[in-house]
C-alpha cells in the first residue's frame, strides 16, 4: 500500500502574481579567489609585524601597529564583500609601489634580508589586488552589493 502523494502546488498564469519572499536566502558563496586574497593580505601583515620586531622597533610602535591594523582591516572588509574596500586597497597598494623607486636606499637602510621581506609583502599584496579584480571576484562583489 503506497502513501498518497502530496498535491502539486497551484500554478498560475497570472503575470501580476508575485513570487513568494524567501525568508532564509542562501548565503553568498565566497569564491576561492577572495579567500586567497584575504590570506595573502593577512600573510603580508604578519610579515610586516615580523619585520618591524626584527629591525628592533625602528619606527614608532603606534605607527607600525596602525599600518598593520589598517592592512588587516582591509583584508576583512574585502572578505566581507565591501566593494569600496577593494578599490581603496588597490589605490593604497599603487601608492605603496612608489617605494620601489628607492630600492638602493631600502637595501642600504635595512639590509637585503628586510628588503626581501618587503618584496615578498609587495608580491602578496599585488597578488591579492589582482585576485579581487579578476572576473570571479568582480562577480562576487557585484552580487554582494545587490544582497
Give per-residue pLDDT as tens, 38-50.
999 999 999 988 8
> Are the CB atoms for 70 and 140 separated by under 8 Å?
no
Angstrom distance (rounded) from CA 138 to CA 36 = 14
- Answering whether pTM is above 0.85, one says no
Diameter over CA atoms, the chain? 87
pLDDT at 69: 92
Place of cell 545587490: 146
pLDDT at 2: 56
Place of cell 502530496: 6
**44-91 per-position pLDDT tens digit:** 999 988 888 877 767 777 888 888 899 999 999 999 989 999 999 999
Angstrom distance (rounded) from CA 86 to CA 25 = 25
Q: How many CA atoms lie within 13 Å of 86's alpha carbon, on the beta-carbon side?
A: 24
**87-104 per-position pLDDT tens digit:** 999 999 999 888 777 777
Amino acid at each position: 500500500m503506497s502513501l498518497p502523494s502530496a498535491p502539486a502546488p497551484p500554478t498560475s498564469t497570472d503575470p501580476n502574481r508575485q513570487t513568494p519572499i524567501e525568508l532564509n536566502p542562501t548565503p553568498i558563496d565566497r569564491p576561492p579567489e577572495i579567500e586567497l586574497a584575504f590570506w595573502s593580505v593577512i600573510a603580508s601583515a604578519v610579515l610586516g609585524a615580523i619585520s618591524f620586531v626584527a629591525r628592533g622597533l625602528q619606527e614608532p610602535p603606534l605607527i607600525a601597529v596602525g599600518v598593520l591594523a589598517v592592512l588587516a582591516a582591509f583584508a576583512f572588509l574585502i572578505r566581507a564583500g565591501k566593494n569600496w574596500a577593494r578599490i581603496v586597497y588597490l589605490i593604497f597598494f599603487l601608492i605603496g609601489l612608489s617605494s620601489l623607486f628607492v630600492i638602493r636606499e631600502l637595501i642600504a637602510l635595512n639590509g637585503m634580508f628586510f628588503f626581501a621581506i618587503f618584496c615578498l609583502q609587495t608580491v602578496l599584496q599585488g597578488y591579492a589586488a589582482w585576485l579581487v579584480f579578476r572576473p570571479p571576484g568582480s562577480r562576487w562583489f557585484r552580487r554582494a552589493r545587490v544582497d
